[in-house]
Structure 1
Amino acid sequence: MLPVETIFETVDDKEFLRIAEKVLEGKRITPEEGIYLYRNGDLTALGILAEHINRQKNSMYAYFIVNRQINPTNVCMYQCDFCAFGVKKSDPKAYEMSLEEILRKVEELYRMGGREVHIVGGIPSYWGYEKYIEIVREIKKRFPEVIVKAWTAVEIHHMSKISGKSYEEVLKELKDAGLDALPGGGAEIFSERVRKIIAPYKANAEEYLEVHRTAHRLGIPTNATMLYGHVETLEERIEHMEMLRRLQDETGGFQVFIPLAYWPEGTRLGGHRTSSVDDLKTIAISRIYLDNFDHIKAYWVTLGEKVAQVALNFGADDLDGTIQEEKIVHAAGTRSAYGHSIDRLVKLIKDAGKIPAERDTFYNIVKVYQ
């Protein structure tokens, strides 16, 4: 990566240079400046600027985790147009895992030294509140050393509705059962206009943010996501980041921001795959804009490993992990592997010129691969 001074030697856009100087002085950019970077920012210069910020926060480390994603069912009552994963119970592709099947997958992770199980899935209309609690409780009872990162804000909102309990009551019961962290899924794009098109029945932006605010207050760290590349505008992407930045100012409870590239295959919404340029710009701008987030993830499942690898020099510092059996994005057409070995992740990071650091859920370094 070129030194940050090269921006001022090679770029002649005065407004871009003004914004870059502001960023280098440690000042926060405005939504209008964020939109300008999207529309006019030179890709290479954006990458240099974002990577300068990343190295201040994370040095030369790029993180990964030995984890497993478990999707207990693809039966979902919401049937969002952007999603190719969720189906009706009558669909031939519908499946539901038993508790024992879930526990066997956690055991496979545990045997290989895994540290985190990531649980998200469809939302069947007929699942009772206790089922969600039971899954967490039984995993933690059988494997107390495994970190349980489970249920998106959308699932927490649904649990609140069917139980008549508040978000706080639901989260306290989950925490007592063994929940350690919340994933960031379900955010999509916070714009009400967009949500009416792609996911009209799911928890709205205010509800999503309130679930995370409540989790932070209870000491439960969470992740944040943004699904981009469908029907949203660049202004709506920045608006999304702004709402996350404000909540992070308030609570400090977000661990990482994860831009998720939209995959259209098999969805009712349709559309086209984002370009690599858009992917890298989004990584870089999120690193610049979200100045109060420590980590930006280049999720190799949606980006593909090559773009994710490049993103490690565009402001991202994390590839996610071994995953093993991702189903949600694969249903929408990603050609990425279902999972990666530790050796593969280490090689991807080293080939990007970074130092591979195995982490736990909370970004504590477990092992450095020099």
Structure 2
Amino acid sequence: MKTRMLRNEAQYVWDMHDVFTLGELGHRRRMDMHPEGVVTYIVDRNINYTNVCVSGCKFCAFFKGPGDEGGYVLSTDEILAKVQETVDLGGYQILLQGGMNPDLPLAWYADLLRALKTSFPQVAVHGFSPSEIFYLSGRESRPVADILTQLREAGLDSMPGGGAEILVDEVRNRVSPRKCSADQWLSVMETAHGLGMRTTATMMFGQGETFDQRIEHLDRLRDLQDRTGGFTAFIPWTFQPRNTRMEMPETSSHEYLKFLALCRLYLDNIDNIQASWVTQGPMVGQLALMWGANDMGSTMLEENVVAATGVHFRLPEAELRVLVQKAGFTPRRRTMDYTLCEEVA
């Protein structure tokens, strides 16, 4: 039986190992958990239904405030057209995310989900985030459980872990003071898991947080997973500072890989860890498969939020599969809950 890494041990492990030796430990743990030599991925599209948001996070280059020039809300027809394009390209899931838009009531979301499921019953909707759900709860003066239940009944299949950033209020109050607190984010996730909804967990690091604050984030996710088992995967990525209101150096790929390996060691109860090629690029994404990651995430047929920072990496499915194969693994399509799909011809 493996001994669980404690918070005070994480700093020692970090300090005592260079990027290669810690990567070796992370890869060994990954292979213990997934000895079959498969690297999974999903074919989907990130549809940002609106860029209007009252949160005003300092790290976001994508949002527009209410009334700002360039703010938009996609029509249902525009969203359905994007889903059709996704299906035509072999996609079978959409990631539906926007912002905390004060002009969109819960009925708008429910109507959109019903339209999606009517037109594309075969497409899974991985949508919104704890931040959006918590905001809707306040806007509608209804409990989070009611909001999630209504959205699930309308067609929401699962929820991504957006808005986590760093789950420490000292950090959140500095970079995103209008967004839900760490406790509120975790509470929404626990409620979703209690309703039977699977979700992912995320982390955006490199925004001026301390090492201890990073470990607190991991510890809180691990604790919730102990209670619910609802997270299917963990996705860490690095803050991209360009075009944002936070001037700081970008976290290096060296630090990304080293911390990824530590995440694999610390999060012993979350089965899957995704490589963030969207922020790091395809080559570092490939390296991440030897540092603890067992999943390449999404083919991202469309991505707008990271692109707003000036980072425009793209990775078509054929290229993603070649990268996985050249790393010595077998690429396999999957669903959100990591059920393997039929082999690609």
TM-score for the superposition, normalised by structure 1: 0.90
Q: How does 1:25-44 map to 2 (within 5 A)?
A: 26-44=2-20
Secondary structure at the aligned position of 1:366 is classed as coil
Aligned residue for 2:218?
241
CA deviation after TM superposition for structure 1 residue 111, in Å: 2.2
CA distance in 2, matches of 1:367, 1:31: 40
Deviations 1:122-175 (A, max 9, x none): 222221121122222211111111111001000000110111111111111111
Equivalent residue for 1:282, pick from 259, 262, 272: 259
- Cα distance in structure 2, aligned partners of 1:267 and 1:87: 12
Tell me how far apart the structure 1 counterparts of residues 15 and 239 of structure 2 sit (CA, whole Å). Answer: 20
Matched, 1:182 2:174: no
1:230 to 202, 207, 223: 207
**How far apart, in 1, do the equivalents of 2:241 and 2:155 lie?**
35
Aligned-pair distance for 1:333? 2.4
- Cα contact 1:222–1:255 (8 A) shared by 2: yes
Give 2:183's aligned amino acid.
Answer: E
* Partner of residue 30 from structure 2, selected from 38, 42, 54: 54
Letter aligned with residue 305 of structure 1:
P
Tell me how far apart the structure 1 counterparts of residues 16 and 279 of structure 2 sit (CA, whole Å).
25
Partner of 1:344: 319
> Match of 1:56, as an amino acid?
D
- The alignment status of 1:363 with 2:338, answered yes or no, reads yes
| Offset of residue 368 of structure 1 | 4.4
The CA distance in 1 between the partners of 2:40 and 2:339, in whole Å, is: 10
Q: State the one-letter code of the partner of 1:293.
A: I
Instruction: Tell me what 2:57 maps to.
Output: 80
Alignment partners' CA distance in 2, 1:222 and 1:328: 20
Alpha-carbon contact 1:86-1:122 (below 8 Å) kept: yes
Partners of 1:29 and 1:289 within 8 A in 2: yes
Q: Distance in 1 between matches of 2:112 and 2:127?
A: 9
Using the alignment, how far apart are the partners of 1:112 and 1:330 within structure 2?
21
Identity value in percent? 39
Aligned residue pairs: how many?
Answer: 344
Superposition CA RMSD, Å = 1.4
Mapped to 2, the partners of 1:341 and 1:180 lie a distance apart of 25
Q: Work out which structure has the larger RCO, using CA pairs closer than 8 Å and 6 or more positions apart in sequence.
A: 2
1:334 maps to 311
CA offsets, 1:247-286, max 9 Å, x none? 0000000000010210000111121211111100121011
Give the aligned residue type for 2:14: Y
Higher mean alpha-carbon deviation, 122-131 vs 167-176, is at: 122-131
3-state SS of 2:341 partner: strand
Amino acid at match of 2:177: P
Give the AA of the match of 1:366: C
Q: Tell me the CA shift for residue 119 of structure 1.
A: 0.7
Residue correspondence of structure 1 range 134-149 to structure 2 within 5 A? 134-149=111-126
For residue 223 of structure 1, report the CA deviation from its aligned partner: 0.4
How much does 1:369 deviate?
6.5
Q: Is the 8 A contact 2:160 2:200 kept in 1?
A: yes
Tell me if structure 2 keeps the 8 A contact 1:356–1:369. no
Matched-pair contact (CA < 8 Å) for 2:47–2:302: yes
1:258-337 to 2 correspondences below 5 Å = 258-337=235-314
What secondary structure is seen at the aligned counterpart in 1 of 2:191? Answer: helix
Deviation at 1:348, TM superposition (A): 1.2
Is the CA contact 1:80–1:199 (under 8 Å) kept in the aligned structure 2?
Answer: yes
Taking the aligned partners of 2:29 and 2:121, their CA distance within structure 1 comes to 37
Deviates more, 1:157-166 or 1:242-251: 157-166
Please give the alpha-carbon distance, in whole angstroms, between the structure 1 residues aligned to 2:10 and 2:112.
Answer: 41
Work out whether 1:97 is the aligned partner of 2:74. yes
Query: Which consecutive residues of structure 1, in runs of 5 or more, have no partner in the other structure?
Result: 1-24
Q: Is the 8 A contact 1:54 1:287 kept in 2?
A: yes
**Distance in 1 separating the partners of 2:124 and 2:275:** 21
Gaps of 5+ in 2: none
Separation in 2 of the partners of 1:131 and 1:121? 13
What amino acid maps onto 1:206 in structure 2?
D
Q: Secondary structure at the match of 1:365?
A: coil
Counterpart Cα distance in 1 of 2:293 and 2:344 = 18
Task: Give the deviation of 1:335 after TM superposition.
Answer: 3.4
Q: Alignment partner of 2:40: what SS? A: strand
Deviation at 1:367, TM superposition (A): 3.6
Superposed displacement of residue 55, structure 1: 1.2
- Structure 1 counterpart of 2:91: 114
Residues 213, 251 of structure 1: 8 Å contact kept: yes
The superposition leaves residues 189-220 of structure 1 with CA deviations (integer Å, 9 ceiling, x where unpaired) of: 01111111100010111111111101111110
